[in-house]
């Protein structure tokens, strides 16, 4: 006999209890899989994560595409943060990859942000640093925004 230690990680965007009620998902399988449920909020509910994800994606895609390091302007970042992201992190990743590839200069500007993101209403000018879970994260974001505004002569 061979013993195996296996872990199954499964993800879905469906309400499995509802699927069980409809007879579309086996109840016994649900209880076998649902040992340690991990619920991740959609990106639209985690706006504070967007700048970190964008910076990471830019660095990754610059490296993968042999591009010079790029930065993103405050206005472009505000457009990304203000968008609802129906496609979640995957959509954000695709948009950032497109911007890295298509933007010629070293800075991704608001006009480089593709539609439908750019068509969204602008987010309020007042940004709440209280959304950050840690003081150091809020301070880092404030410093970044302050420097970017000063660099653009505002």
The CATH code belonging to domain 43-151 is 1.10.8.60
71 phi and psi angles, rounded to 5 deg: -115, 170
Average pLDDT estimate for 130-140: 82
Structural tokens at position 51: 């700048």
Q: Give the residue extent of every domain in the chain.
A: 43-151
Q: How far does CA 53 lie from the centroid of its chain?
A: 5
Q: How confident is the model at residue 13 (pLDDT cuts 50, 70, 90)?
A: confident
Q: What is the pLDDT of residues 76-93, one digit of tens each?
A: 999 999 999 999 999 999
Please tell me the least confidently modeled range out of 15-19, 36-40, 77-81, 122-126. Answer: 122-126
Using the predicted structure, report yes or no on whether residue 65 has a pLDDT greater than 60. yes
| Residue reference for tokens 């879905």 | 12
Write a three-state SS string for the chain. CCCCCCCCCCCCCCCHHHHHHCCCCCHHHHHHHCCCCCCCCCHHHCHHHHHHHHHHHHHHHHHHCCCCCCEECHHHHHHHHHCCCCCHHHHHHHHHHHHHHHCCCCEECHHHCCCCCCCCCCCCCCCCHHHCCCHHHHHHHHHHHHHHHHHCCC
pLDDT for the residue 152? 64
Summary mean pLDDT of the chain? 88
CA–CA separation, 92 vs 50, rounded Å?
8
Cα 134 from Cα 116, distance rounded (Å): 31
Distances, alpha carbon 107 to alpha carbons 41, 83, 135, in Å: 30, 20, 28
Q: Determine the average pLDDT of the residues in 123-130.
A: 62
| Contact between residue 27 and residue 20 where contact means Cβ atoms under 8 Å apart | yes
Q: How far apart are CA 6 and CA 3, in angstroms?
A: 10
- Mean of the pLDDT values across residues 53-80? 95
């Amino acid at each position: 006999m061979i013993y195996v230690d296996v872990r199954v990680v499964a993800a879905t965007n469906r309400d499995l209890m509802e699927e069980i009620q409809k007879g579309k998902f086996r109840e016994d399988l649900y209880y076998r899989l649902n040992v340690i449920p991990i619920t991740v909020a959609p990106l639209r509910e985690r706006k504070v994560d967007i700048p970190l994800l964008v910076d990471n994606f830019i660095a990754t895609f610059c490296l993968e595409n042999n591009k010079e390091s790029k930065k993103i302007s405050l206005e472009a970042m505000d457009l990304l943060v203000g968008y609802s992201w129906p496609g979640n992190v995957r959509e954000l990743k695709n948009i950032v990859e497109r911007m890295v590839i298509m933007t010629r200069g070293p800075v991704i500007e608001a006009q480089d942000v593709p539609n439908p993101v750019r068509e969204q209403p602008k987010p309020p000018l007042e940004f709440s640093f209280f959304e950050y879970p840690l003081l150091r994260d809020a301070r880092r974001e404030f410093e970044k925004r302050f420097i970017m505004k000063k660099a653009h002569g505002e």
